[in-house]
Structure 1
Amino acid sequence: MDHRDDTTLRVLSTSDLAGIDIGLSDVLDTVEQAYRTLAAGRSDNPRKLTVKPTDGHSVSYAMLGRDGVREVVAVKTSYKHGLHESRDRQHYYTTLTLYDDVTGLPVAMMDCGRIGSLRTPAVSALLARECASPDARTALVIGTGTQGRLALPFLLTALPKLERLLLAGTHPDGIAAVRARLTRYFPGREPELVTDLRRAAGEADLIVATAGGHTAAAVEADWLRPGALGILVGHGLAPSTLHRADRVIATSEAQMRVTGTDLADADGALPAVDAELPAVLSGAAPGRTAPGQRIFAYNSGLVVTDIALGHRFAQLAAAQGLGTEVALWR
């Protein structure tokens, strides 16, 4: 990429990033490489810092990391305000700032919204590829918000043998958006809208729960068929699916213990994690160890994946001349 000097910073807005065309396979490969690099000990991903006021009206995060293949250092910040309000009344801002650790020069600062909307379903798809039953044919997605809208296209990219695509959602606009995204990437495929969540969960080989915090949907452990995989992104899986799972996989056990406290039992405890996704992808640990295992997978973001995908977008943006050069340090 073209680095002009050490006083300017390329700023990539939401609209800049929206105009960049990137394939789902490209996203999957980029995210997987970030995990493999971390597993090899070549990247750094310290625990995130969290600030939340006592009344819980907002939450903010700061995450620092380094990608050892791309040789990029980055800081991601995230701030959400109005957690007690409906989604349309909340304020949410997230940014990613990248620095080239070879030249020492800034790469770009960007809105991280699209990065997260792609990275998270890509991680779910990698979890599904590694942990779902080999004969999985039916997938259920719970939720039609930002994380639910690309869940099915990514699942089909990673697991092309999926036959039935089930969708549990209540918001007409969200349902329409899920259908539109699926048609864009897989013309002719149509999700089945389900109204009986218990029945749908019992028919699904894998479930991706992406619903918001106000959802009433909560799949219980005894609804699941033998060999089922449940992936928790937001809400939609009851704590029993974790505590009664035969095997537990997490992108990061440390992060699950920080952000998954709503899954704790009456004593405030969470089960041990059997394996983390970076180790599974690198071959150091298996995803599934028996056909009939009911597996719970916890999908929490690691900043190294944001760094890798953000750097990929920065490359594509620079090639297209997108962004605004700001003399930030002049």
Structure 2
Amino acid sequence: MTDPSIFPAGAPVSGDDKHLRILSTTDLAGIEISLADVVATVEGAYRTLHAGRSDNPRKLTVKPQDGHSVAYAMLGRDGSRDVVAIKTSYKHGLDKSREEQHYYTSLTVYDDVTGLPLAMMDCSRIGSLRTPAVSALLARECAAPGARSALVIGTGTQGRLALPFLLTTLPDLDRLMLFGTHSEGITAVREQLRSHFPDREVEIVTDLRAAASAADVVVATAGGHTPAAVEAGWLEPGTLSVLVGHGLAPSTLHEAGRVIATSEAQMHVTGTDMADADGKFPPVHAELPAVIAGVAAGRHSAKERIFAYNSGLVVTDIALGHRFAQLALAQGLGTEVALWR
């Protein structure tokens, strides 16, 4: 476990006004960081945002009419770290199988005290950590008291760390279920769980309806081609359902007793498949930053069925990306490029 005191939040991590440190996928893969550290970093970003010290504008989206690709651009500022960053995300082949798709995402960070560039990095590992950490925070704040069972739908990038992060914030979970359709993904989920919690086992389920009705927490991370679509009527009173990708039917949102979102505005941008026939959404009762700050309730009763929408806020990518840049510099990782010379 890394010691956060080694790297103060606003500590500079790079260089001059001529060079940019490039952190590759390989550079970032070798950096060790605990799940608890990731959760704490993401939670801190939410608290700073709610306090009004950070900026997280609505993301920009570009998508062709035939829907074969999608691109996002997200600009933000972290007020506790005094950094500004822009994240880009581009996925091509949405009409094809997972193996045929292309996906690229990057984060470029600038020091807002010195005005110098800090680093440009592949953002895939940051996203693979940040997203399940957010789901775990949603579960901590919104799951019914005494929640003991969890179901994860999907075995892709976001599904593989979902259970370890859930156990980080809800250590009393004693039944862990997984619904997946890709054997290699199921193997990867098992390996990740064993790596972080070697004494825990995951139960592979094929009857999605029975598993959903037995789960206190359902986290849907599947891709767009998944056959999974959990209906509201399958869920018991008190169930928390968290949507990250796909795997939940729109009824879980529209028939929920309470709706929580990381960002209501972003849910309206990226969650259009959950809208009703008129393209409308039910109102969001609270956003996660306010819940974490303690000014809004995650739930009001143990029997309340809750739908939570997990869309990325760039301030969480900035905080985690900045942390990785600090750790990378300490280990001498990355390549300095004379970009502006």
Instruction: Identify the TM-score tier after normalising by the shorter chain.
Output: over 0.9
Tell me which residue corresponds to 1:112. 123
Which secondary structure does the structure 1 equivalent of 2:75 belong to? strand
Matches within 5 A, 1:15-26: 15-26=26-37
Which secondary structure does the structure 2 equivalent of 1:310 belong to? helix
2:157 to 133, 146, 153: 146
Q: Does 1:164 align with 2:187?
A: no
2:42 to 16, 25, 31: 31
Tell me which residue corresponds to 2:258. 247
* Structure 2 CA distance for aligned equivalents of residues 3 and 98 of structure 1: 10
**C-alpha deviation, 1:259, in angstroms:** 1.0
Tell me which residue corresponds to 1:174. 185
One-letter code aligned to 1:259:
T
Which secondary structure does the structure 2 equivalent of 1:140 belong to? strand
One-letter code aligned to 1:186:
F
Tell me which residue corresponds to 1:290. 301
* Structure 2 CA distance for aligned equivalents of residues 2 and 177 of structure 1: 33
One-letter code aligned to 1:217:
A
> RMSD value over aligned CA atoms?
0.6
Given the two structures, how large is their TM-score scaled by the length of structure 1?
Answer: 0.99
**C-alpha deviation, 1:2, in angstroms:** 4.7
Q: Which runs of 5+ in 2 are unaligned?
A: 1-11
1:83 to 64, 69, 94: 94
* Structure 2 CA distance for aligned equivalents of residues 227 and 55 of structure 1: 39
| Deviant stretches of 4+, over 4 Å | none
* Structure 2 CA distance for aligned equivalents of residues 260 and 109 of structure 1: 28
Tell me which residue corresponds to 1:127. 138
Contact map agreement 2:15 2:118 (CA 8 A) in 1: no
* Structure 2 CA distance for aligned equivalents of residues 264 and 151 of structure 1: 25
One-letter code aligned to 1:113:
S
2:324 to 293, 310, 313: 313
**C-alpha deviation, 1:3, in angstroms:** 3.0
2:289 to 278, 294, 317: 278
Which secondary structure does the structure 1 equivalent of 2:55 belong to? coil
**C-alpha deviation, 1:265, in angstroms:** 1.1
Contact map agreement 2:13 2:326 (CA 8 A) in 1: no
* Structure 2 CA distance for aligned equivalents of residues 5 and 126 of structure 1: 37
* Structure 1 CA distance for aligned equivalents of residues 92 and 211 of structure 2: 34
1:195 to 206, 226, 244: 206
Which secondary structure does the structure 2 equivalent of 1:325 belong to? strand
**C-alpha deviation, 1:134, in angstroms:** 1.2
One-letter code aligned to 1:298:
Y
Q: Does 1:68 align with 2:59?
A: no
Which secondary structure does the structure 1 equivalent of 2:328 belong to? helix
* Structure 2 CA distance for aligned equivalents of residues 148 and 3 of structure 1: 33
Which secondary structure does the structure 2 equivalent of 1:63 belong to? strand
Q: Once the two structures are superposed, what CA deviation does each residue of 1:263-320 show, in whole Å capped at 9, x if it has no partner?
A: 1111211100000000000011010111100000000000000000000000000000
Identical counterparts, % of pairs: 77
Which secondary structure does the structure 2 equivalent of 1:77 belong to? strand
One-letter code aligned to 1:95:
S
Give the total of aligned pairs. 330
Contact map agreement 2:14 2:21 (CA 8 A) in 1: no
* Structure 2 CA distance for aligned equivalents of residues 2 and 121 of structure 1: 26
Q: Does 1:322 align with 2:333?
A: yes
Q: Does 1:43 align with 2:54?
A: yes
Given the two structures, how large is their TM-score scaled by the length of structure 2?
Answer: 0.96
One-letter code aligned to 2:191:
A
